[in-house]
Structures are given as structure tokens and as C-alpha cells.
Amino acid sequence: MDPKAEIDKLTEELNEHCYRYYVLSDPIISDAEYDRLYRRLEELERRYPSFKRADSPTHRVGAPPLEGFKTVHHRVPMLSLSNAMDAREILEFDSQVRRKIPPEEKLQYTVEDKFDGVAVSLLYVDGVLELGATRGDGFKGEEITENVRTIKSIPLRLRGGRFDGTEIEVRGEVLFLKESFEALNEERIKKGEPPFANPRNAASGSLRQLDSSITAARPLTFYAYGIGAISGIKLPETYWELTSWLKEWGFNLSENLSLVEGIDKAVEIYNAASQARHSLPYEVDGLVIKVNSFRLRDALGFRERSPRWAVAAKFPPVEEITTLKEIRLQVGRTGAITPVAILEPIDIGGVTVSRATLHNEDEIRRKGIKIGDRVVVRRQGDVIPAVIAVVESQRDGSEKEFIFPKECPSCLSKLYREEGEAAYRCLNPLCPAKLEARIAHFCSRGGADIEGLGEKIIRLFVKEGLVKKTADLYRLKEDDLSKLPGLGEQSAKNLISAIDKSRTIRLSSFIFALGIRHVGSRTAKALAAQYKTLDALLSARKEDLESIPDIGSETAEEIVKFFSDPAERENINEMLEAGVKIVEEGSFQKGRLE
């Protein structure tokens, strides 16, 4: 047979067997026969590399390691979903939908699992996988094309039709099946490597490997749940029809996918699923309820960060009992002191929990918490686990009262508690722990999003005196970093590259990154939408700020106070002089997925 024809035949045959094995769970040949065909294809591709196809299954073993991840700007933002925490809030979602559509409209919903994995985007051009990207902050993520190519349940070429002249962005979740996750951890323990805490962290870490052969060695899977940007093909009228297309194209779908008339049936499915969630082969933390009609979705539109036509119906929180071994104090970026419970590690809903917040001194006293107590710990979704009660019946008299310290655990400065506030604060502007927390906040995903700059490295920077304020990050050199203990030339190069990448930043992200007291992501976006530029915000008056929805007198006062501080103004000016460029909100949303 002609070599090109044989390569084409083997590629299509092996992709079909891969689909039957990893998506349909219905193989029709033995592993040995698959391996024989695969080896023959590898041999031919080595001899005739120009005939190797973009959808060849040999791409799944990984590619040469990358130096870093490229930034991808999503043509259609990958928005998050608003939450419904119980059946009552699901009904309220339905009421909000109905208020915005004509009363005679027939309203159908789809219901599917809310996977607890990593959201990714897959771009197919002419039916062939061309680009994979993480969700990131919803507007920009990281390119992980070589990594997603290694996931065997992701088709390298769409099945079931002709796709010439099309661009189709499929969105879904990368995750570990429970069984695969347990096997992976067993293997890591045998090798003397630390086990992953939970499937979600394992999936995230596996996707963010610069060496895709590491990703290839981990049994990840993919479930599709929607479409992003699309051209050259007309969408069907409903999401339910689209799920048939996704299945035909070769994707896994939620095992609990349903179409219902009206919200009552959706609530019934939610109640049943919350009891049966642990029987699923993958981790879920709720259901997603969506309006089925695309026409009605267009009419309903979007909020700032989420669509009005969908809701994430979260399952009730999971609670377990464990022992509180110790209470440590954590210093936040504003100097707030938070007591943290150090727990006997306990599995809560598939996640190993060893720390939980105790909020403040008043909460410790109100709940009567003592060191050594058996306590009830609650975890729900992404919320930090919390100690919600003491199991007093299990006390044996060995428990010890916790006396809240009067000095900062980091700099030993006296702690202060303002009237009407629950938290003690360290007011020392040179407190190392405050500086570390502030830099960590600046570098976080909602802020400057500096990849690889974690707590340990930040602590090292502060200890060595390299960073005394956030502006110092943009003055670091490779030579400065490569000499630090634990950091080699490549690590230093990667960090400098990540810092350089963060020099262009949206106004809302920059405002959030500054760490102004009471200013979270939502308030930062409101300020950016109102003032458009940093210069305009710097001169904002308290009374003007108070006119913005959701910004009260206390928050307005903190904003004015922050921007009136000469040290803060100097830090901002130094960042701008170091090349930080603040762009308008829309800038990251334009353009294709590239």
C-alpha cells in the first residue's frame, strides 16, 4: 500500500478505536492489536514525517517541553455561573428568568452535572484540534494545546460530518475519574512522591505541565458542556440538540443530562442527585440548570460575570468531625489577624482538609472552641473550610483554653482592635507577614496573575530584601533570582517571563491587585467601569464614590485614604515607570481565540 494511504488508513482506524475505548467504553479489538497498529503507524511516520496528520494518535504521547505558557484571549468570554444554594434559590432563578420573557413562552431547562474539574476551551479549525486553553480569568487563559492533545477522550478530529471552512470552540471540563485518581495516587506513593490532595488539584496540576509527556502519563478525561466561538456552521435552535451534536462529534457528556419542562422537575432531579452524588464516577459539586432555547438565552443576556439563563445549583455542604490540634494566627495583607484551626487531616467530600478558618476571637469564644476539641468542620464548594461547632459530648478534660495573643506573630508589634470591628490588626507598615500577604494578593489570579510566584518564593524575596513593595517585582533581574537558594537559571528565567507578561493589565485587575481594604473583585470592576482610567480614579472624591452602587461610606473612605497615602502613590508611580501598562476593560475581550 502507498505509504501516505496507509498512514491515513491507520490514523483513522486508531482514532476510531480510541473513541470506542475512551468515550463509548466499547472496544472491539484487543490491547495487543491496538499496540501493533500503533507501532506500525509510528514506524511509517518516522520514515515519512511529511505524511503525518494533525489528528494522528501519536500526538497523544506528548511534545518537546515548552519554556512557558502563552496567553490566550478568549473571543467569547468564559464566564462563571451564579449560584443557587438550595431548592428555594433554584425557584428564585426560575422566577427571574420568567420575569424577562413573555408569559406565553414555553420554558424548558436542561440539567447536567457541575463537574469539579478544570474548565478548558478546545478550538477546532476545519474539524481538526488546533488550540487548547484554560479558562483563566474568563477573558484570558493559558495555551495548553500539546497537553490536551494527550487526553484520549478529546477527539483530535471531529467525527460525524464535513467541517471544511468551520471554526468551532468546544468547552468543557478536564478531570480525573475517581478510580483513575486513586490509582494515580497509589502509584505516586509507591514512587515516594506526595499524593495529590484531590482530583481537581491533580487535574489542574497535570494540565499546567510544560512537559506534555507528564500530562500524557496521567489518565485525564474530558466532558463537553457547551460551545464558545463558532463560524462557518449554524447552531441548532436548542442546547438539547447541541448535546446530540457534541456526542456525534466524539465527546463525553454528563451522565445526568436531562431535558425538563418547567423548574419543578429540575428541583426534583437536584434533590435526588444531591443524595446520589457519591455514586458517580467523577467528583461533582452540584448541577447546572440552563434555559434550553438559544433564542431565549439571547433575550435574557448576561450580567457582568455570568449569564442570566443558567445557574449552578450547589449541593448542600459536607460536614465531618475531627480533632482541632492547634490554633495559629495568620496575618493578612491589611494586617487583619485570622485564627486558623490546624486539624487532624480528614476527608470531606473527596478533599483532604487539614486547616479551617476560625474567623476571629469572638467566634472562638461564642462557639467555646478549645485546643484538643472534637469539632464539626464544614466544606462547601470553593469556600474555605470552617469549624462550625464543638462536639462537647466527646470532651475528656484535656482540652486547653486558647488565649488570643496581643502581639503580631510576625513582627511582635502590639495588635489593635478598632471599636465595632471583629478583627485584631497589626499596624506596623514594615511587618514582613503583611508584605508577603500583600504581594501574594497582588500576584493572584484576580490581580496581576503572575504564574509561579507562590508563597514560598515570595517569602524568600522578602527575606532576602529583594522586594519591599509590589513595584520591586518589576525591577527584578534574572541574575538576582538565579543566585537565590532553590532557584536555578531556568526557574529565574520563567519567573521573570511571568512578571514581564503581567506588565499589561486590565484596570479592574490592577485595582483589585492593589489590595485596598474592602475592595474585592466586584468592587474593583465597578470602579473600573465608572472611572475608565487610573488617573480619574486617583482623583475620585468620597461623595462621588458613594454614588456607585454597592460602594458604601466605609469602602469609599478606604479608597480615598489609600490613594491619598504618599507611599501608595509612589508605589503606583514606580510600577508605571517600570513598564506596567494599564488598559481599558474591553481590551482583553477583543479578537479571536489566539
Cα-trace Rg, the chain: 26
Tell me the whole-structure pTM to 2 decimals: 0.67
Mean pLDDT, the chain, whole residue set: 89
Q: Once rounded to an integer, what is the mean pLDDT over residues 529-552?
A: 90
Distance, C-alpha 82 to centroid of its chain: 15
Look at 53-62, 428-437, 532-541, 561-570 and tell me which has the smallest mean pLDDT: 53-62
For the chain, what percent of residues have pLDDT higher than 70? 95
- Of 48-52, 375-379, 575-579, give the range with the top mean pLDDT: 575-579
DSSP three-state, residue 23: coil
Cell of 279: 455514586
pLDDT at 468: 94
Calculate ∠ Cα 442-446-448, nearest 5°.
45
Rounded Cα distance between 125 and 274, Å, is 39
Interval 2-46: pLDDT, tens: 888 888 888 888 888 877 776 666 777 777 787 788 888 888 888
pLDDT score of 229 more than 90: yes
DSSP three-state, residue 590: coil
For the chain, what percent of residues have pLDDT higher than 90? 59
pLDDT at 445: 82
DSSP three-state, residue 282: coil
Q: Once rounded to an integer, what is the mean pLDDT over residues 526-551?
A: 91
pLDDT at 63: 60
Q: Which residues of 296-332 are buried (b: 16+ CB within 10 A; e: fewer)?
A: bbeebeeeeebbbbbbbbbbebbebebbbeebebebb
Confidence of residue 584 (pLDDT cuts 50, 70, 90): confident
Residues tagged active-site: 114
> All domains of the chain, ordered by start, with CATH?
3-61 (1.10.287.610), 83-314 (3.30.470.30), 318-416 (2.40.50.140), 432-588 (1.10.150.20)
Cell of 125: 479549525
At 433, which helix (H) or strand (E)? helix 432-443
Look at 271-275, 337-341, 436-440 and tell me which has the smallest mean pLDDT: 271-275
Cell of 88: 428555594
pLDDT at 65: 65
Confidence of residue 591 (pLDDT cuts 50, 70, 90): very low
Interval 310-364: pLDDT, tens: 999 998 888 899 999 999 999 999 999 999 999 999 988 767 899 999 999 999 9
pLDDT at 380: 67
Interval 37-74: pLDDT, tens: 888 888 888 888 888 888 888 877 656 666 778 889 99
Q: Which candidate, 322, 315, 327, 326, places its Cα nearest to that of 376?
A: 322
pLDDT at 593: 34
Q: Once rounded to an integer, what is the mean pLDDT over residues 207-218?
A: 89
Calculate ∠ Cα 252-294-227, nearest 5°.
35
Rounded Cα distance between 196 and 450, Å, is 23
Q: Once rounded to an integer, what is the mean pLDDT over residues 251-279?
A: 92
More confident call, 485 vs 113? 113
Calculate ∠ Cα 32-35-37, nearest 5°.
110
pLDDT at 594: 30
pLDDT score of 171 more than 90: yes
pLDDT at 590: 30
pLDDT at 38: 83
pLDDT at 425: 94
Rounded Cα distance between 393 and 307, Å, is 47
pLDDT score of 107 more than 80: yes
pLDDT at 237: 96
Interval 488-526: pLDDT, tens: 888 888 899 999 999 999 999 999 999 999 898 889 988
Confidence of residue 381 (pLDDT cuts 50, 70, 90): low
pLDDT at 382: 55
